[in-house]
A and B are shown apart, each in its own frame.
Chain A
Amino acid sequence: MEFFVQLIITGTVIGSIYALLALGFTLIYKATDVVNFAQGELLMVGAYICLHLTVSYNVPFWASFLITLVFSFTMGFFIEKVFLRRMIGEPIISIIMLTIGLSSVMKAVVQIFWGTDTRTYPQVFSSEPFMIAGLSISRVYIYSIAAVAVFLVLFSLFFKKSKVGVAMRAVASDQQAALSMGIDVKKIFALSWGIAAVVSAVGGIFLGNINGINTTLSHFGLKVFPVVILGGLDSIVGAIVGGLIIGILENLAGGYIDPLIGGGAKEIFPYVVMIAVLMIKPYGLFGTKAVEKV
């Protein structure tokens, strides 16, 4: 039983990071119709920048966290302006390949600057675990779940209340109508990339605090697909729910199936779930069904 609860807790932590990543992915997809294969690299770059600031320049963690967010926002903003802006209206394969190309470039830049070895964050959170109902839970887990929750709440408020957030939702639901209402659609496109990069960087920083970082961090970007397919590609609620479900399922599979087959189930299980979802309910739990005409 304790094993089971531990798996659930780890799953929730990883799942909340998936949720952040998926939130970024969904934002971009909703607003700009771009399928972002470079989501994991945005996470990786964020994690490395924050680590670099903390370790090499001795910036306090909270400050480097904020600087990273600003940097990520700028990076996302300009990626859209420079690369994705030209791809509007191109076939989906071109857009997919462009983001794949971007992901290669980002990965290469990170490797050139920081090498491929695993690096760890300095001790930011105290290592003494929380004791809850007889279970010891690592402090960084609690903090990451809390931080992710805060971010998710902040973003929901942003979309519900702020002017820019409402404009973003308007663009997502109908670009032409938004344009004729005087919303600057181009700005919204760039903004959504910026915000997506920010949420990914947050995920990357917390992931780095849990496990340390290396360039395999970018594999997280591909895990975002099971999450968004399960939740529904264009649903923000779906991204969060899907992230948690996939994170927990993945850890349960790792805990219970791996010993039977000798490992690897954790990596593959989300994709098996995804295939099942694609076959049964391709638009996911909360997605809108696309209607096609000749």
Chain B
Amino acid sequence: MSYVNCGNFKTSYEKDAELFQTTFSKILIYAFIAALFSVPFFLGDYYLYVMNLIFIAVIGAVGLNILTGFTGLISLGQGAFMGVGAYAAGYLSLTYGLPFFIAIPAAGLITAVFGAFFGIPSLRLKGLYLSIATLAAQFIIEFGFVRLEFITGGVTGLSIDYASLAGYEIDSDFSFYFLALAICLVMTLAGVNMMRTRAGRAFLSIRDNYIAAEAMGINLFRYKLTAFAVSSFYAGVAGSLWAYYTTIITPENFTIGVSIQYLSMIIIGGLGSILGSIFGAVFIVILPEVLQSFSDWAGGYYPNLTQIIGSIKEGVFGLVIILFLMFEPEGMVRRWRLIKAYWKLWPFSY
């Protein structure tokens, strides 16, 4: 049963920073990825739809976690940045006819530039002040979505074609699943790896003590902007994926509520943990779906329920955030680690 030593016997930093700590975890992760690639053949469209939403949310949540969880810069603008990505992808594919495999990274880069621009205040502002500045950024960008009609199409939005690869249209939940999964895997892996580099360590040091970090030679301006750019790149990719998934881009999909949802994902999942972002994204995407199916089931007995289900969703969402903050402030990832630690020593855990 035990697949890892119950002590820490690493003898070099390289070993400590290895991506896969043991062969067993490597096998498990590869098996998990293989399973992910094979499940769509067994799942119905509804489940695929939920999975696709999860993949998009994971990308956005990993991005926000890099900024907020690892670098400690609170952002209330993730929703708006996703919107920038979506509109950028839409505009590029409509105006220049770019294929999706160019439009998505390009949209990511455009969003990264946006993010870096709105990250400039982060040099002077910290904590609360920064989060308020990003709140302003959220509202100003949202205003731009509605008002800059020659790019965004105003309130009616943009309507784009499905992504297509060599004549094959990615127009179903099934085919989109593979696209979203592939991009999600690449982005998650990039996120994990980034945290093992100099930049990742610089982010952590800025979070833990920015004055000490600066004294040790870390260029705050550069790394804070990098964090904003990287995080916005993720948001942009997530947003452009969303654009290709729904093919209709309208401003109300990128409101402050979306930003709050992403923040709640990383809070519930665990700040400063890529795995936590994944847990949180899964949880927050599934929660309203579960409530919806509950209301569909119970609606037969309590017809009033279907009318107020929207409010109930919002209330439960808030309640979940509160409960997590009060009883598990480090998020689901801590629970996961505890469970893992328990099984490590099983059956001799005290």
Contacts and interface: CB of A to CB of B under 8 A. Distances in A.
A268 B314 CA distance: 25
Contacts of B74: 92-93, 96
For chain B, the bracket of interface size reads 35 or more
Interface in A152-169: none
B329 A102 contact: no
Contacts of A86: 326
B264 A294 contact: no
B312 A105 contact: no
B338 to A, nearest CB: 20
A97, A278, A279 interface centre (most CB from chain B within 10 Å): A97
A294 B212 contact: yes
B311 A108 contact: yes
A66 interface: no
Contact of A105 (B68, B132, B319): B319
Interface in A3-62: 35
Contacts, number: 130
A144 B211 CA distance: 48
A102 B319 CA distance: 7
Contact of B135 (A90, A222, A264): A222
Contacts of A112: 308, 311-312, 315
Given A86-B326, A111-B311, A101 B147 contact: no
Given A102-B318, A278-B129, A264 B311 contact: no
A272 interface: yes
A102 B143 CA distance: 26
B187 interface: no
Given A105-B319, A111-B311, A112-B312, A94 B325 contact: yes
B128 interface: yes
A233 B131 CA distance: 14
A294 B210 CA distance: 9
B125 A104 contact: no
Interface string B297-337: 00000000000101111111111111001100100000000
B284 interface: no
A267 B143 contact: yes
19 contacts: A87-B326, A90-B325, A90-B329, A92-B131, A98-B321, A101-B321, A103-B318, A104-B314, A104-B319, A105-B322, A109-B315, A111-B308, A225-B132, A229-B132, A264-B146, A268-B143, A274-B132, A278-B121, A278-B125
Interface of B: 68, 74, 121, 124-125, 127-129, 131-133, 135-137, 139-140, 143, 146-147, 209, 211-212, 215, 256, 260, 263-264, 267, 271, 308, 310-322, 325-326, 329
Given A104-B319, A264-B143, 16 more contacts: A92-B128, A93-B131, A93-B267, A97-B321, A100-B321, A104-B318, A107-B318, A111-B310, A111-B311, A112-B312, A112-B315, A262-B147, A275-B136, A278-B133, A282-B125, A294-B215
